[in-house]
Amino acid sequence: LTFPLLSVTLLVSFGSSMLYGYNLAVVNSPAEYIKAFYNATWSQRYGHGLAPGPLTLLYALTVSIFALGGLVGSLLVGVLVEQYGRNGALSRSALLVLLAGGFMGFSRELGSPEMVIIGRSITGLHSGGCCLGCAQPFPHGSNPTAIPRGVGEHSIFPTRSNLRGFLGLMPTLFICLGVFCAQVLGLPELLGKDRFWPLFLSMVVVPASLQLLLLHCFPESPRYLLIERNDICGATRALRRFLGTPDVQDVIEEMKEERRSLSSMEMVSVWQLLRDRSVRWQTLSVAVVNAGMQLSGIDAIWFYTNTIFENVGIPVSEIPYTTMGTGAIEIVAGLIGCLTIERVGRRPLIITGFCAMGVCSAGITVSLLLQAALPWMRYVSVACVVGIIAGFCMGPAGVPFLMTAELFTQSHRPAAYIVGGSLNWLCNFTVGFIFPFLQMSAGAFCYLVFCGVCLLVALYVYLIIPETKNKTFMEISHIFA
C-alpha cells in the first residue's frame, strides 16, 4: 500500500464521505435554535410567529432537502467525471460546498431562513455527486470485492487490484466518522450553543477547502486518462506514482483491454433494464434493498436523535453526550462489518442487520409504552437506538452497494446503480420529511412502521437473494432463475 495511494484515498474520503456523514447529523443538535430563528424571522417579516405545524414543516424541509440535492447530484456525477475527470469533478464539488457554507454561515446575519435551506440543498448536491453517486462501471467480467461509492476511490486502482476491497470500504468508515464529528462539535462546550449554530452548519467548508488545496498534488485517475482520454503516457506516469513501481505495463494492458471491451459493449438504459425480464428479480432486489436501507428508520435516528432521546425521557443535559456515545458505537460497528463481510458473506450480514433493526424499533415502542410505569425503560430505549445504529452499520450500510455490482453484468450495472441510487435518495428525503409528523400523529407506534419495513426486507433477502460472495454473474443468474 503506497503512500500516494493511501493519501489520495484518505483525502477523497475526508472531503466527500465524511462530509456526507457530517451533514446527516449536523442538523440534530441545533434543531431548536434553527426553529427559533425561523420563528423570529417570520415574526419580523409578517408581524406574527409560525404555528407549530408550519414551523415543523419548514424545519422538516430544511432537514430533508439535503436528500433532494443528493438525488440530483447522483444523476450528474457520471457527466462530471466523464467531462472533467476525478480531480476536476471533486474540485468543482468542493467549490459548491464553499458556496453552501457561505449561505448557511451568513443566514442569521442576513435574516434569511431561505439561505439555510439553499445551503442544505447544495451540500446534498455535493454528497450525491461525490459520495453516493452512481459509480463508474466495472470492466466486463470482473467480480469486484467492494463497490466504492465515490468518484475518487473507484478510478484509482487497477481492475483486479487486491486493494479495491480494503480501500473501497473506507468511505463507509468516514461516513461514521463524519456523524461522530457532528455529534462532538454539537456538544454545549463547543458549538452546541445558540450563537454558534450558523458556524456549526458552515464547518463543512473546512474539509472541502483542504480537499481543494491538496487535490492538485495528486495525478488524475489512471483509468480516466487511458480509457476516457486515451492518454497512455499520462496514465503510465499516474500509475507509477500511485503504485510505487516503474513496471506498470501489465496494468496498462489490462486497461487497454477494458477500453476495447467497453467500446464494443452496448449499455442498457434504465427503461431497458426495467423491461428486461431476464434480470427482473435482480432489479427488484436492488430496489427492495436500497429502499429498505433508507426506510429502515436510520435517517430518522441520524436527523432527529436529540428529539427521540428527549421523547424517551433522557434528561436534556445528558442528551448530547448520549448522542455522542451512539456515534462512537457506530464507528465500532462499521469496523466490525468491514472486517467480517468477506468471512461471513453478504446475506448473513444484511439479514442480521435488518432483523436487529426491526427488533430494536419494536423495542423502542414497547419501552415508550411502559415508561410511565417503569422509569428505567428509558435506558432500554437508548439501548434500542444503539442497536438500530449498530445493526445498520454492520450490514445494510454497505452491502446493498456491493450487491448491486455483483447481481448484474457490466452492460446493466450503470442503469442498476441509477435505479438503486435514486430510490436511496428519494426514500432518504421521505423519511427525513415525514418523521416529525409521523411522530406527532402516531406517538410511540411510529417506530412499528420501521420495524415492519426492516423485517419484510430481511424476509425478502432470506427468500429471494442468494449469497454472492465468490460467485460469478452467471452462477448468480442461474440461482435466480
Q: Where are the domains of the chain?
A: 1-139+161-218, 268-480
More confidently predicted of 439 and 132: 439
Domain range 1-139+161-218, CATH architecture:
Up-down Bundle (1.20)
More confidently predicted of 14 and 151: 14
| Most confident listed range (59-63, 224-228, 240-244, 247-251) | 59-63
| Residue of 34, 21, 27 lying closest to 306 (CA atoms) | 27
H/E stretch holding 83 reads helix 52-105
Q: Decide if pLDDT at 62 tops 60.
A: yes
Asked whether 357 and 450 are in contact (CB, 8 A), the reply is: yes
Asked whether 319 and 310 are in contact (CB, 8 A), the reply is: yes
Query: Which residues 6+ apart lie within 8 Å of 209 measured at CB?
Result: 94, 98
Separation between Cα atoms, residue 374 and residue 396, nearest integer Å: 33
Asked whether 156 and 8 are in contact (CB, 8 A), the reply is: yes
More confidently predicted of 446 and 153: 446
Residue 15 is predicted with a pLDDT of 75
More confidently predicted of 15 and 236: 236
Stretch 346-363: mean pLDDT: 90
Burial class (CB in 10 A: 0-12, 13-18, 19+), 466: middle
Q: Is 27 helix (H, G, I), strand (E, B) or coil?
A: coil
| Residue of 36, 92, 43 lying closest to 59 (CA atoms) | 36
The model's confidence at residue 145, banded by pLDDT at 50, 70 and 90, is very low
Domain 1-139+161-218 and domain 268-480, same fold? Reply is: yes
| Residue of 1, 34, 2 lying closest to 114 (CA atoms) | 34
Nine-digit cell string for 21: 456523514
Asked whether 54 and 46 are in contact (CB, 8 A), the reply is: no
Superfamily of domain 268-480: MFS general substrate transporter like domains (1.20.1250.20)
| Residue of 102, 115, 118, 106 lying closest to 68 (CA atoms) | 118
Separation between Cα atoms, residue 178 and residue 378, nearest integer Å: 27
Q: How far is CA 330 from CA 25, 55, 58, 198, 213, in A?
A: 13, 31, 29, 26, 30
Q: Decide if pLDDT at 117 tops 80.
A: yes
Nine-digit cell string for 196: 454558534
How much of the chain exceeds pLDDT 90, in percent? Answer: 26
Burial class (CB in 10 A: 0-12, 13-18, 19+), 473: buried
Q: Decide if pLDDT at 387 tops 60.
A: yes
Separation between Cα atoms, residue 404 and residue 167, nearest integer Å: 18
Phi-psi region of 459 (alpha: psi -120 to 50; beta: other; left: phi over 0): alpha
Q: Is 204 helix (H, G, I), strand (E, B) or coil?
A: coil
Separation between Cα atoms, residue 411 and residue 417, nearest integer Å: 12
Asked whether 21 and 174 are in contact (CB, 8 A), the reply is: yes
Asked whether 382 and 126 are in contact (CB, 8 A), the reply is: no
Stretch 159-186: mean pLDDT: 70
Separation between Cα atoms, residue 167 and residue 161, nearest integer Å: 10
**Side chain identity at residue 348, one-letter code:** P
Specify the range with the lowest mean pLDDT, choosing from 204-213, 250-259, 314-323, 331-340: 331-340
Separation between Cα atoms, residue 212 and residue 259, nearest integer Å: 30
Residue 346 is predicted with a pLDDT of 77
Q: Is 111 helix (H, G, I), strand (E, B) or coil?
A: coil
Phi-psi region of 408 (alpha: psi -120 to 50; beta: other; left: phi over 0): beta
